[in-house]
Amino acid sequence: MVSSARGTYDFVVAANRLPVDRHVEPDGTTTWQTSPGGLVTAMESVMRDREGAWVGWAGFPGEAPEPFDDGPLRLVPVPLSAEEIADYYEGFSNDTLWPLYHDVIVPPTFHRSWWHCYRAVNERFAEAVCEVAAEGATVWVHDYQLQLVPAMVRDRRPDLRIGWFNHIPFPPVELFAQLPWRASILRGLLGADFLGFQRPDDARNFRRACRAVLGARAAGDQVRWDGTDDGRTGAGPRTVRAASVPISIDASGFQRLADSPEVCERAREIRESLGDPDVVLMGVDRLDYTKGIRHRLRAIGELFEDGDIAPPDVTFVQVATPSRERVEAYRTLREQIEATVGRINGDFSHLGDTAVHYLHQSYPREEMAALFQVADVMLVTPLRDGMNLVAKEYVTARHDGGGALVLSEFTGAAEELRAAYLCNPHDIEGLKETIVRAIRDDPAEKSRRMAALRRRVRRHDVQTWAEEFLAALASAPQRPRGRSRR
């Protein structure tokens, strides 16, 4: 199915969402604002000075707007109908793949109709990519929503260099094997030249899955697949590199923001409005069952109960960004969390002294930076997380060298941020002990740890990540076919 259509962009990004959301003002005019989430936060600064096209869904059902320019970036909206949003996005992406790839924390749902829709939407993304990509262009596909796109693009445009980055974990084959469409997903990914993962274990899981499911050979970080069971795409033999390239944040940009007098002043205001406690504990997450918010609240509730912490000296702030509210598991989780916060506050707050401040809202970056500065102990305790950018943002925002990071071993960030107070969030007793230790440890020890954490994030920022990814893609083992040499 080699297509003759050629675009003009040498660099094309494809992600489920465009980096902007449409807002319709009361007077009917349309504005575009940065959309929330870890992927956009990371890619925004990478794309700032690059010319290229970004293919993605604009965030609302029905016809897509015409492609438009946002600075040097061409934004190419892909349409999704209301039914496709339900089946491809909320269904297959967020209720099949998301739980399966996060250790089956909740059971994944398998529906054949969702799968068919996922395939159809991936085709649409692939077509849009091929239309804008110039001869020999580099295409960077993102995340679990678009795992079939690499092979679909290669099928149409063998001249392109195709990379894919997985923002979330890749599960062990023992879990991945549950997926009825496991072979198709792997075939889809093997259409890429380079596959980037957050942790070495994720890349290893992928290579093991290729061996077990497709009978491919894996040597070092390369997968060799003869393509024999792939009658449909006709991909032919493939040699694909699959390795870890951990994502990071725009450390200098975020530090500049956190250093600004406005943010520092706002941090003082927030602390004062909390009643100027001795210790502010904080959690900042999308409201997602992978983030371990229930386990964290359990530990915090017991610490209040045991008298280890008490308001007004110690208070806990939980920021929970609204997320995927049309998926059943997320609605249930929200009810559970809000009931638990209510119970803890009923038992341990006093008039004027709140035990748990719960904020179910999204905030601008400036407010996030101010909140981070207020946190004496940041609790990042997911049950499973690809990386977790909040951990990296927090240590960067604490430019005063204060603070302490309690970090789950089950995050990608724990591979790098070894100087954090590491914890197993399933072990409530251990989690309580780690929180108390992070509160009471010697200030010199705390600041030594924070200095090490800040150093690591500064040295490995998002630009380094993007450069590493693109260098690995450029030197991928297999040359694209039919590419004119330049």
The answer to whether 45 and 463 are in contact (CB under 8 A) is yes
Shortest reach from residue 415's CB to ligand ADQ, in Å: 12
Shortest reach from residue 66's CB to ligand ADQ, in Å: 29
Cα 474 to Cα 137, 385, 478: the distances in Å are 11, 28, 10
Identity of the residue, 31 or 361, whose beta carbon is nearer to ligand ADQ in the bound complex = 361
Q: What angle do CA 128, 130, 135 make, to 5 degrees?
A: 150
Identity of the residue, 92 or 101, whose beta carbon is nearer to ligand ADQ in the bound complex = 101
104: left (phi over 0), alpha (psi -120 to 50) or beta: left
Identity of the residue, 15 or 210, whose beta carbon is nearer to ligand ADQ in the bound complex = 15
Cα distance from N-terminal residue to C-terminal residue, the chain: 25
Shortest reach from residue 262's CB to ligand ADQ, in Å: 17
What tokens does 447 get? 């600041």
Q: What angle do CA 288, 86, 52 make, to 5 degrees?
A: 80
Identity of the residue, 13 or 39, whose beta carbon is nearer to ligand ADQ in the bound complex = 39
Q: What is the DSSP string of 291-356?
A: G-HHHHHHHHHHHHHHTSS-TTTEEEEEEEE---TTSHHHHHHHHHHHHHHHHHHHHH-BTTB-SE
The answer to whether 381 and 316 are in contact (CB under 8 A) is no
Identity of the residue, 15 or 133, whose beta carbon is nearer to ligand ADQ in the bound complex = 15
d(C-alpha 436, C-alpha 449), whole Å: 16
Identity of the residue, 233 or 318, whose beta carbon is nearer to ligand ADQ in the bound complex = 318
> With the C-alpha atoms ordered 377, 383, 387, 390, is the resulting torsion angle positive or negative?
negative
d(C-alpha 397, C-alpha 445), whole Å: 19
Shortest reach from residue 171's CB to ligand ADQ, in Å: 14
Shortest reach from residue 126's CB to ligand ADQ, in Å: 22
What is the three-class DSSP state of 68? strand
Q: State the residue number with the nearest CB to ligand ADQ.
A: 38
d(C-alpha 183, C-alpha 229), whole Å: 9
Cα 198 to Cα 38, 90, 396: the distances in Å are 13, 23, 20
What is the three-class DSSP state of 48? coil
Shortest reach from residue 483's CB to ligand ADQ, in Å: 30
Shortest reach from residue 159's CB to ligand ADQ, in Å: 29
The DSSP element (H or E) to which 135 belongs, if any, is strand 133-142
Identity of the residue, 8 or 362, whose beta carbon is nearer to ligand ADQ in the bound complex = 362
Shortest reach from residue 320's CB to ligand ADQ, in Å: 7
Identity of the residue, 42 or 378, whose beta carbon is nearer to ligand ADQ in the bound complex = 42
Identity of the residue, 147 or 184, whose beta carbon is nearer to ligand ADQ in the bound complex = 147
Q: Name the residue among 352, 279, 270 with its Cα closest to residue 319.
A: 270
Q: Name the residue among 226, 200, 199, 197 with its Cα closest to residue 211.
A: 226
Alpha-helical runs (H) found in 133-196: 149-156, 173-176, 182-189
Identity of the residue, 185 or 247, whose beta carbon is nearer to ligand ADQ in the bound complex = 247
Shortest reach from residue 371's CB to ligand ADQ, in Å: 9
Shortest reach from residue 479's CB to ligand ADQ, in Å: 29
> With the C-alpha atoms ordered 314, 332, 176, 81, is the resulting torsion angle positive or negative?
negative
The answer to whether 356 and 314 are in contact (CB under 8 A) is no
**Interface with ligand ADQ by CB under 6 A: which residues?**
36-39, 41-42, 167-168, 247, 284, 286, 319, 321, 361-363, 368, 385-390, 393
Identity of the residue, 390 or 472, whose beta carbon is nearer to ligand ADQ in the bound complex = 390
d(C-alpha 312, C-alpha 19), whole Å: 41
Shortest reach from residue 368's CB to ligand ADQ, in Å: 5
Shortest reach from residue 267's CB to ligand ADQ, in Å: 15
Identity of the residue, 164 or 304, whose beta carbon is nearer to ligand ADQ in the bound complex = 164
